[in-house]
Protein backbone atom coordinates (compact mmCIF):
# COMPACT_ATOMS: atom_id res chain seq x y z
CA UNK A 1 0.00 0.00 0.00
CA UNK A 2 1.39 3.39 -0.97
CA UNK A 3 0.57 6.95 0.10
CA UNK A 4 1.53 9.94 -2.02
CA UNK A 5 1.01 13.64 -1.25
CA UNK A 6 -0.14 16.27 -3.75
CA UNK A 7 -0.94 19.99 -3.45
CA UNK A 8 -4.69 20.73 -3.51
CA UNK A 9 -4.74 24.53 -3.31
CA UNK A 10 -5.37 27.10 -0.60
CA UNK A 11 -8.45 27.93 1.44
CA UNK A 12 -10.14 31.32 1.40
CA UNK A 13 -8.13 32.03 4.56
CA UNK A 14 -4.85 31.25 2.76
CA UNK A 15 -4.18 27.90 4.40
CA UNK A 16 -2.45 25.26 2.28
CA UNK A 17 -4.42 22.07 1.63
CA UNK A 18 -2.91 18.75 0.53
CA UNK A 19 -4.43 15.66 -1.05
CA UNK A 20 -3.25 12.23 0.08
CA UNK A 21 -3.64 9.32 -2.34
CA UNK A 22 -3.82 5.86 -0.75
CA UNK A 23 -3.51 2.95 -3.17
CA UNK A 24 -3.23 -0.79 -2.56
CA UNK A 25 -1.94 -3.58 -4.82
CA UNK A 26 -5.48 -4.35 -6.00
CA UNK A 27 -5.66 -0.90 -7.59
CA UNK A 28 -8.19 0.47 -5.10
CA UNK A 29 -7.61 4.17 -4.52
CA UNK A 30 -8.78 6.47 -1.70
CA UNK A 31 -8.07 10.20 -1.85
CA UNK A 32 -8.32 12.38 1.25
CA UNK A 33 -7.70 16.09 1.80
CA UNK A 34 -6.74 17.58 5.15
CA UNK A 35 -9.47 20.22 4.80
CA UNK A 36 -12.22 18.71 6.93
CA UNK A 37 -10.38 15.37 7.00
CA UNK A 38 -12.45 14.77 3.88
CA UNK A 39 -12.62 11.70 1.62
CA UNK A 40 -12.78 13.12 -1.92
CA UNK A 41 -12.58 9.95 -4.03
CA UNK A 42 -12.82 6.18 -3.66
CA UNK A 43 -12.06 4.17 -6.79
CA UNK A 44 -13.03 0.49 -6.72
CA UNK A 45 -13.51 -2.24 -9.33
CA UNK A 46 -16.80 -3.79 -10.35
CA UNK A 47 -17.30 -7.48 -11.24
CA UNK A 48 -15.93 -6.83 -14.74
CA UNK A 49 -12.82 -5.07 -13.51
CA UNK A 50 -14.00 -1.54 -14.35
CA UNK A 51 -12.64 1.08 -11.97
CA UNK A 52 -15.09 3.82 -10.95
CA UNK A 53 -15.30 6.56 -8.34
CA UNK A 54 -18.03 5.61 -5.87
CA UNK A 55 -18.28 8.75 -3.71
CA UNK A 56 -19.73 12.17 -4.44
CA UNK A 57 -17.65 15.31 -4.11
CA UNK A 58 -16.02 18.30 -5.82
CA UNK A 59 -12.97 18.80 -8.03
CA UNK A 60 -11.45 21.70 -6.09
CA UNK A 61 -11.09 23.18 -2.63
CA UNK A 62 -13.49 25.93 -3.74
CA UNK A 63 -16.29 23.37 -3.93
CA UNK A 64 -15.60 21.98 -0.48
CA UNK A 65 -15.56 25.49 1.01
CA UNK A 66 -18.80 26.52 -0.71
CA UNK A 67 -22.17 26.80 0.99
CA UNK A 68 -23.43 24.15 -1.45
CA UNK A 69 -21.28 21.47 0.18
CA UNK A 70 -23.59 19.03 2.04
CA UNK A 71 -20.65 17.62 4.07
CA UNK A 72 -19.36 15.50 1.16
CA UNK A 73 -16.85 13.02 2.64
CA UNK A 74 -16.20 15.16 5.70
CA UNK A 75 -15.29 14.29 9.27
CA UNK A 76 -18.10 15.86 11.31
CA UNK A 77 -17.72 17.10 14.89
CA UNK A 78 -17.43 18.13 17.65
CA UNK A 79 -20.97 16.73 17.74
CA UNK A 80 -22.10 15.02 14.54
CA UNK A 81 -25.82 14.90 13.75
CA UNK A 82 -28.37 17.09 15.55
CA UNK A 83 -28.81 18.74 18.94
CA UNK A 84 -32.25 20.07 19.80
CA UNK A 85 -32.34 23.89 19.65
CA UNK A 86 -28.53 23.85 19.83
CA UNK A 87 -28.73 23.45 23.59
CA UNK A 88 -27.23 21.09 26.13
CA UNK A 89 -26.38 21.14 29.84
CA UNK A 90 -23.14 19.81 31.31
CA UNK A 91 -22.31 19.85 35.02
CA UNK A 92 -25.26 22.16 35.61
CA UNK A 93 -24.15 24.74 33.05
CA UNK A 94 -26.15 25.40 29.87
CA UNK A 95 -24.43 25.85 26.53
CA UNK A 96 -26.01 27.50 23.47
CA UNK A 97 -24.63 26.49 20.08
CA UNK A 98 -25.26 27.97 16.65
CA UNK A 99 -28.58 26.94 15.09
CA UNK A 100 -27.49 25.91 11.60
CA UNK A 101 -30.32 23.47 10.80
CA UNK A 102 -33.53 25.35 11.33
CA UNK A 103 -33.86 25.67 15.11
CA UNK A 104 -31.30 22.91 15.73
CA UNK A 105 -27.52 22.51 15.72
CA UNK A 106 -26.06 20.16 13.09
CA UNK A 107 -22.64 18.53 12.59
CA UNK A 108 -20.63 20.76 14.89
CA UNK A 109 -21.80 24.23 13.94
CA UNK A 110 -20.96 27.00 11.49
CA UNK A 111 -17.27 26.10 11.36
CA UNK A 112 -17.18 22.53 12.60
CA UNK A 113 -14.42 20.01 12.08
CA UNK A 114 -15.49 19.69 8.43
CA UNK A 115 -14.27 23.28 7.80
CA UNK A 116 -10.90 23.08 9.56
CA UNK A 117 -7.49 22.39 8.02
CA UNK A 118 -6.08 19.42 9.90
CA UNK A 119 -2.41 18.72 10.62
CA UNK A 120 -1.25 15.74 8.55
CA UNK A 121 1.27 13.01 9.22
CA UNK A 122 2.00 10.13 6.83
CA UNK A 123 3.23 6.83 8.21
CA UNK A 124 4.22 3.86 6.07
CA UNK A 125 0.69 2.51 5.78
CA UNK A 126 -1.59 5.17 7.29
CA UNK A 127 -2.56 8.82 7.17
CA UNK A 128 -2.99 10.56 10.54
CA UNK A 129 -4.91 13.83 10.69
CA UNK A 130 -5.01 15.93 13.88
CA UNK A 131 -7.05 18.91 15.00
CA UNK A 132 -6.93 20.84 18.25
CA UNK A 133 -10.39 22.22 18.94
CA UNK A 134 -9.91 25.07 21.37
CA UNK A 135 -12.03 25.66 24.46
CA UNK A 136 -15.12 27.55 23.33
CA UNK A 137 -14.78 26.66 19.63
CA UNK A 138 -18.33 26.67 18.24
CA UNK A 139 -19.55 27.02 21.82
CA UNK A 140 -18.27 23.69 23.14
CA UNK A 141 -16.35 23.53 26.44
CA UNK A 142 -12.83 22.18 26.77
CA UNK A 143 -9.78 21.99 24.55
CA UNK A 144 -10.21 18.78 22.55
CA UNK A 145 -7.34 17.09 20.70
CA UNK A 146 -8.72 14.87 17.93
CA UNK A 147 -6.81 12.33 15.85
CA UNK A 148 -8.26 10.45 12.86
CA UNK A 149 -6.24 7.67 11.23
CA UNK A 150 -7.06 6.42 7.73
CA UNK A 151 -5.67 3.11 6.51
CA UNK A 152 -6.39 1.28 3.24
CA UNK A 153 -5.57 -2.40 3.59
CA UNK A 154 -4.72 -4.98 0.94
CA UNK A 155 -8.04 -6.65 1.85
CA UNK A 156 -9.86 -3.54 0.53
CA UNK A 157 -10.82 -2.22 3.95
CA UNK A 158 -10.79 1.53 4.49
CA UNK A 159 -10.27 1.65 8.23
CA UNK A 160 -10.96 4.89 10.10
CA UNK A 161 -9.82 5.07 13.74
CA UNK A 162 -10.84 8.04 15.88
CA UNK A 163 -9.22 9.17 19.13
CA UNK A 164 -9.71 12.26 21.30
CA UNK A 165 -8.78 13.70 24.68
CA UNK A 166 -10.05 16.76 26.53
CA UNK A 167 -8.93 19.01 29.38
CA UNK A 168 -12.52 19.72 30.55
CA UNK A 169 -15.76 17.74 30.52
CA UNK A 170 -17.24 18.03 27.04
CA UNK A 171 -19.32 16.26 24.40
CA UNK A 172 -18.03 14.34 21.42
CA UNK A 173 -19.69 12.46 18.58
CA UNK A 174 -17.66 12.00 15.41
CA UNK A 175 -18.56 10.46 12.06
CA UNK A 176 -17.60 10.35 8.41
CA UNK A 177 -20.13 11.80 5.97
CA UNK A 178 -19.21 10.17 2.65
CA UNK A 179 -21.98 9.92 0.07
CA UNK A 180 -21.68 6.58 -1.74
CA UNK A 181 -23.02 5.51 -5.11
CA UNK A 182 -21.77 2.02 -5.92
CA UNK A 183 -22.89 2.33 -9.55
CA UNK A 184 -20.62 5.34 -9.99
CA UNK A 185 -23.58 7.59 -10.85
CA UNK A 186 -27.35 7.88 -11.15
CA UNK A 187 -29.92 6.96 -8.53
CA UNK A 188 -29.23 4.83 -5.46
CA UNK A 189 -32.84 3.63 -5.29
CA UNK A 190 -31.90 0.29 -6.91
CA UNK A 191 -29.10 -0.44 -4.43
CA UNK A 192 -29.97 -3.17 -1.92
CA UNK A 193 -29.32 -2.45 1.74
CA UNK A 194 -29.33 -4.47 4.95
CA UNK A 195 -28.95 -2.87 8.39
CA UNK A 196 -28.42 -5.04 11.47
CA UNK A 197 -30.81 -3.20 13.75
CA UNK A 198 -34.15 -4.09 15.29
CA UNK A 199 -35.00 -0.55 16.44
CA UNK A 200 -34.56 3.04 15.34
CA UNK A 201 -34.81 6.39 17.06
CA UNK A 202 -38.18 7.98 16.26
CA UNK A 203 -37.84 11.66 15.31
CA UNK A 204 -40.12 14.68 15.20
CA UNK A 205 -40.72 16.89 12.17
CA UNK A 206 -37.31 18.58 12.68
CA UNK A 207 -35.45 15.23 12.75
CA UNK A 208 -34.84 15.40 16.51
CA UNK A 209 -35.38 12.14 18.46
CA UNK A 210 -38.49 11.96 20.63
CA UNK A 211 -36.75 9.47 22.94
CA UNK A 212 -38.69 6.46 21.65
CA UNK A 213 -36.79 3.47 20.30
CA UNK A 214 -39.31 1.85 17.99
CA UNK A 215 -39.22 -1.66 16.53
CA UNK A 216 -38.68 -1.74 12.76
CA UNK A 217 -40.79 -4.91 12.47
CA UNK A 218 -43.62 -4.57 9.97
CA UNK A 219 -42.73 -0.97 9.06
CA UNK A 220 -41.11 0.87 6.17
CA UNK A 221 -38.00 1.14 8.38
CA UNK A 222 -37.39 -2.63 8.37
CA UNK A 223 -34.09 -3.25 6.58
CA UNK A 224 -33.08 -6.37 8.50
CA UNK A 225 -33.12 -8.34 5.26
CA UNK A 226 -31.46 -7.08 2.09
CA UNK A 227 -34.01 -4.75 0.50
CA UNK A 228 -33.96 -2.47 -2.54
CA UNK A 229 -33.87 1.09 -1.25
CA UNK A 230 -36.77 2.02 -3.53
CA UNK A 231 -39.06 -0.55 -1.86
CA UNK A 232 -40.21 1.59 1.06
CA UNK A 233 -38.38 4.91 0.69
CA UNK A 234 -41.42 6.84 -0.50
CA UNK A 235 -43.36 5.78 2.63
CA UNK A 236 -40.60 6.93 5.00
CA UNK A 237 -41.18 10.00 7.17
CA UNK A 238 -39.92 13.17 5.48
CA UNK A 239 -38.25 12.99 2.08
CA UNK A 240 -36.67 9.56 2.60
CA UNK A 241 -34.31 7.79 4.97
CA UNK A 242 -32.52 10.11 7.39
CA UNK A 243 -32.74 8.08 10.59
CA UNK A 244 -30.52 6.61 13.27
CA UNK A 245 -30.66 2.83 13.57
CA UNK A 246 -29.87 1.28 16.96
CA UNK A 247 -27.41 -1.49 16.24
CA UNK A 248 -27.80 -4.89 17.86
CA UNK A 249 -24.20 -5.07 18.97
CA UNK A 250 -23.71 -2.00 21.15
CA UNK A 251 -21.00 -3.18 23.55
CA UNK A 252 -18.18 -1.33 21.79
CA UNK A 253 -16.86 -4.33 19.88
CA UNK A 254 -16.33 -4.12 16.13
CA UNK A 255 -19.26 -5.63 14.25
CA UNK A 256 -21.01 -5.42 10.88
CA UNK A 257 -23.62 -2.67 10.89
CA UNK A 258 -24.77 -2.60 7.27
CA UNK A 259 -24.21 -4.08 3.83
CA UNK A 260 -25.10 -2.45 0.50
CA UNK A 261 -25.04 -4.14 -2.91
CA UNK A 262 -25.43 -2.54 -6.34
CA UNK A 263 -26.83 -5.38 -8.49
CA UNK A 264 -25.60 -4.27 -11.94
CA UNK A 265 -21.95 -3.61 -11.07
CA UNK A 266 -21.84 -6.19 -8.29
CA UNK A 267 -20.06 -3.70 -6.03
CA UNK A 268 -20.62 -4.34 -2.33
CA UNK A 269 -19.99 -2.04 0.62
CA UNK A 270 -19.86 -3.55 4.11
CA UNK A 271 -19.78 -1.13 7.03
CA UNK A 272 -18.39 -2.21 10.41
CA UNK A 273 -18.36 -0.08 13.55
CA UNK A 274 -17.79 0.00 17.29
CA UNK A 275 -20.53 2.64 17.67
CA UNK A 276 -24.07 1.95 18.96
CA UNK A 277 -25.80 3.64 16.01
CA UNK A 278 -25.69 4.28 12.29
CA UNK A 279 -27.46 7.08 10.44
CA UNK A 280 -28.75 5.89 7.08
CA UNK A 281 -29.26 8.95 4.90
CA UNK A 282 -30.53 8.61 1.34
CA UNK A 283 -29.35 11.98 0.00
CA UNK A 284 -32.79 13.56 0.14
CA UNK A 285 -31.59 17.17 0.08
CA UNK A 286 -29.30 16.91 -2.95
CA UNK A 287 -30.83 19.44 -5.33
CA UNK A 288 -28.75 20.13 -8.42
CA UNK A 289 -25.36 20.25 -6.69
CA UNK A 290 -22.59 20.77 -9.26
CA UNK A 291 -20.01 18.12 -8.37
CA UNK A 292 -16.82 16.61 -9.71
CA UNK A 293 -16.12 15.51 -13.28
CA UNK A 294 -19.10 17.49 -14.59
CA UNK A 295 -21.67 15.56 -12.55
CA UNK A 296 -24.78 17.27 -11.22
CA UNK A 297 -26.08 15.50 -8.12
CA UNK A 298 -29.80 15.19 -7.54
CA UNK A 299 -32.04 13.77 -4.82
CA UNK A 300 -31.08 10.19 -3.89
CA UNK A 301 -27.93 10.12 -6.03
CA UNK A 302 -25.89 9.14 -2.96
CA UNK A 303 -26.32 7.50 0.43
CA UNK A 304 -24.49 7.89 3.73
CA UNK A 305 -23.72 5.35 6.45
CA UNK A 306 -22.74 7.57 9.38
CA UNK A 307 -21.50 5.46 12.29
CA UNK A 308 -22.22 7.38 15.48
CA UNK A 309 -23.80 7.77 18.88
CA UNK A 310 -27.48 8.68 18.75
CA UNK A 311 -28.60 12.19 17.77
CA UNK A 312 -29.38 14.61 20.62
CA UNK A 313 -27.93 12.19 23.19
CA UNK A 314 -26.99 14.95 25.69
CA UNK A 315 -30.70 15.80 25.97
CA UNK A 316 -31.85 12.18 26.11
CA UNK A 317 -30.67 10.58 29.39
CA UNK A 318 -31.70 7.08 28.25
CA UNK A 319 -29.42 7.22 25.21
CA UNK A 320 -25.75 6.09 25.36
CA UNK A 321 -23.64 8.93 26.76
CA UNK A 322 -21.48 11.17 24.57
CA UNK A 323 -19.72 12.84 27.49
CA UNK A 324 -15.91 12.84 27.59
CA UNK A 325 -13.99 13.74 30.76
CA UNK A 326 -10.32 14.57 31.34
CA UNK A 327 -8.05 11.50 31.65
CA UNK A 328 -10.47 9.53 29.46
CA UNK A 329 -9.79 8.70 25.81
CA UNK A 330 -12.55 8.70 23.23
CA UNK A 331 -12.10 5.96 20.62
CA UNK A 332 -14.14 4.48 17.82
CA UNK A 333 -13.48 2.53 14.64
CA UNK A 334 -15.37 2.50 11.35
CA UNK A 335 -14.48 0.22 8.45
CA UNK A 336 -15.81 0.59 4.92
CA UNK A 337 -15.08 -2.74 3.19
CA UNK A 338 -15.22 -2.91 -0.59
CA UNK A 339 -15.81 -6.04 -2.66
CA UNK A 340 -17.82 -7.25 -5.65
CA UNK A 341 -20.02 -10.25 -6.41
Which positions are catalytic?
Answer: 177, 306
What gap in Å lies between CA 96 and CA 310, rounded to an integer? 19
3-class state of residue 338 by DSSP: strand
SS3 content of the chain, % helix, strand, coil (to 5): 10, 45, 45
Q: Distance of CA 199 to CAs 217, 233, 259, 332, 337, Å?
A: 8, 17, 17, 22, 24
Spatial distance between the Cα atoms of 239 and 109, rounded to a whole number of angstroms:
23
The Cα 43–Cα 190 span in angstroms is 20
Answer yes or no: are the C-beta atoms of 307 and 273 closer than 8 Å.
yes
Q: Are 336 and 73 in contact (CB under 8 A)?
A: no
Amino acid sequence: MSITTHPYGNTLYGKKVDLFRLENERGTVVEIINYGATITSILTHDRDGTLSDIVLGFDTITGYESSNNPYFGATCGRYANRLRRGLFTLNGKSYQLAKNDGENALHGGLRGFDKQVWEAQVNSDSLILKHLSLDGEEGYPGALLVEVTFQLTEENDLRIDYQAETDQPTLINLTNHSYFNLAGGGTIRDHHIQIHADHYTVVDETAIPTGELRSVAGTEMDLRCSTAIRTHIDQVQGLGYDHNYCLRQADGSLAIAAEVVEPVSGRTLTCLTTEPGIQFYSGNFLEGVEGKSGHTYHKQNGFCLETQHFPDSPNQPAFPSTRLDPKETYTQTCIYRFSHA
